[in-house]
Structure 1
Amino acid sequence: MPQNHMAPQFFTTSPGEPRLAYLSRAGLRGPGLFWLGGYRSDMRGSKATFVDAFAAEQDRPCLRFDYSGHGESEGAFENGTIGLWAEQATKIFRALTEGPQVVIGSSMGGWIALLLARALAKLGETDRLASLVLIAPAPDFSEELVWPSLPETVRATLARDGVWRDDQNVFTQKFFEDGRRQSVLGGELRTWCPVRILQGMRDDAVPWRHALKLLEHLAADPATLTLIRDGDHRLSRPQDLDLLRGALTQTPVAR
């Protein structure tokens, strides 16, 4: 049964916290695949579904979940921060996956993946990461990409009310404050595993030079950057998904 038609299961990080919806596929071969979605996206999107189908082809485990305030998970979106979502990712990763995993992070999920790697290193569990595959990764996007673009009127509203909304967006002051604390581009960045980055050069949300900056900070780990000249932020065209398949197959499969 295609997993996108299945009802999700739910995981609670601690009593009283929002329940997080997830979809888990069993598999006999490793490493498993662990999906981290983007800002305001969900686990049933086209790339997440592609990763699950790829896992099914190879008989590999796959886990997808929605951060709080996203998709089918509980919680209000405006209560979320990068630090909270990264903590949720770390807890669900450690509780619901076994052995080495290929972590695939899309956009904001790329930032979350890097924070997950940092958290696992602090726990002495670097062997849990087989590799990272980052699609249009957006580390530090709140401070480096969004904040500079906000009009002064929006910044003033955030300072006064703590929240700003329009028809399409909602931002909170605590989101930006937490984002500064979660920065990963302030110095050398370690993941302790190979990193493969896919980045479109026509990305209007995350400039391709941002991916180049990330690559420069990954000086101590094996890292590659594939630039797609006509690729946009979504990177969900058939030719983009072929590149994603290639990145996923670069990690050897254990029988």
Structure 2
Amino acid sequence: MALVTFSCALALFGCVFTACAPSQTTGAQVAASESSSSVESAQPELANCPVARDTTFGGIYLDISIDEFNNLGFSLGDSVNVKFSNGYELQNVPYLDGYNVRAGDPLVIGNPSDTRIEVTLNYVDTLWNTAGVAEGDTATVTLAEKGAFKDLRELLSDRESDERSDYDSDEQFANFRPLKGGALRQGAVYRSSSPINNKHNRAPYVNKLMEQAGITFVLDLSHKADEIEEEIAKNSQQGADLSHIARMQSEGRVDAVGLSVNYLSQPFA
């Protein structure tokens, strides 16, 4: 008998193209010529942007796409200030495309696997509640310091590829391998990418490897029970072969644990 465990990030919101009204504030004056005349340099600002709750991870989505946000003049590696319409404020927050701050620290994230800007407490699922925001509230983002976290981003940036051809084997691409340690029997427990969520094109490979390894039971660490069949159906309709996990689900051999990303929370204790 073999068991497989996996985790995945499930995006519950689709792409949103917004009518958030960007505005610009006046920055420092710069010398224009020897005549000492000056012009005002505009600083990027996103003003009064509607917010929405990330119901999976507890962060706060801004109703603007990553590209639209960057087009306002923000760049990855900048430091920004975020103020919500209820008065809650975060200052000197890194704007990054990876979760490269300490757990619990604030972060403005433009994750390439998502479509929108999100404000979050890294690996903690409580910012929506902590900030006390509600549907109908808005957020304003202003530049604190240009490139303040540029070196941090370059140092820690590590982008994975979603192309099978960039990996040496199906097992490597699917992150499929047996767990080792203590008295654990070889081949008894495996870990892998998700056989259900195909956001990164790995699910069909995981399904094939699970079947080959004789996996008899799956612990789904990230989905809730009511999400599994919906996710399988959606990805199957898009052409992904998830027949093995679909059969296991119908036979009651998939257990939805539904953990959040907050590994400091009580369920992980």
Relative to the length of structure 2, the TM-score reads: 0.22
Larger-gyration structure (1/2) = 2
Could you say which structure has the greater relative contact order, defined with CA pairs below 8 angstroms and 6 or more residues apart?
2
Relative to the length of structure 1, the TM-score reads: 0.23
Structure holding more helix per residue: 1
